[in-house]
Amino acid sequence: MSKLMKIAKRILWLFLLLLIIGLGYFGFKIRQNVQQVMTYETEVERVVKKNNIPEYKNLVLAIIYTESKGLSEDLMQSSESAYGKRQMIGSTEESLDAGVAFLAQAIEKSNEAGCDIWTAVQAYNFGLDYIAFVKEQGGKNSVRLAEEYSKEVLSPLLGNTNQQTYRYYRPQALIYNGGFLYSNGGNMFYADLVKMNQQFIKWLK
């Protein structure tokens, strides 16, 4: 074996070792985050029952994972839907009450419109008007529809009239468009992120 081949082999082994270490750390952090979110399981169970959506307990836990990983008082980032602006929620209980009530409303409207559950989840990020938009496009959420709504409806409505974007380095975004979101356009990958985090909770809780 030539010296060059030996060096290449060592580099490959080093790369594989770093990859294994990185994946291990990633897995450890996910498990740690899931365990933190699960500390709110009993409270979530109470609130989903109160809002008549007990079957969506794990979905709410996944939204908590997506929004805060259970590390802030505003667990579900409910302040904007409840008050119209950020940082108005004062307790985890208030965040859960407002967030689950808004999700229940989104689910109800999505069901009435004949749309799928992921339309309701994406509407948790975009706002309830997204449901009517998806209904007109066949009733099933997709990243393509979410991007269209973000680009053509939501971001211009909130002041981004020239389609400005910013970098967003989640795997879903990197694979789909190289990693960007539209400024003031919400997160077009939100439903996919919640879906992924719901799987993490299912596997690791």
Residue 57 has pLDDT above 90, yes or no: yes
Give the contacts of 79 (CB within 8 A, at least 6 positions apart).
85, 86, 87, 88, 89, 95, 98
Residue 87 has pLDDT above 80, yes or no: no
Find tokens 């439903």 and name the residue.
191
Domain ranges of the chain: 3-139+189-204
Domain 3-139+189-204 CATH (choose: 3.40.50.2300, 2.120.10.30, 3.40.50.620, 1.10.530.10): 1.10.530.10
Confidence of residue 45 (pLDDT cuts 50, 70, 90): very high
User: What is the distance of C-alpha 92 from the center of its chain?
Assistant: 19
Element (H, E) at 181: strand 180-182
| pLDDT of 101 | 97
Over residues 158-198, the pLDDT tens digits come to 999 999 999 999 999 999 999 999 999 999 999 999 999 99
Residue 1 has pLDDT above 60, yes or no: no
When comparing pLDDT for 14 and 125, which is higher? 125
Q: Contact 81/90 with Cβ under 8 angstroms? A: no
Over residues 108-137, the pLDDT tens digits come to 999 999 999 999 999 999 999 999 999 999
Report the mean per-residue pLDDT for the chain. 91
Could you write out the DSSP letters of every residue in 18-86? Answer: HHHHHHHHHHHHHHHHHHHHHTTHHHHHHHHHHTT-GGGHHHHHHHHHHHTTT-SSSTT--HHHHHSSS
Question: pTM for this structure?
Answer: 0.88
Q: How many CB atoms are closer than 10 A to CB 63?
A: 28
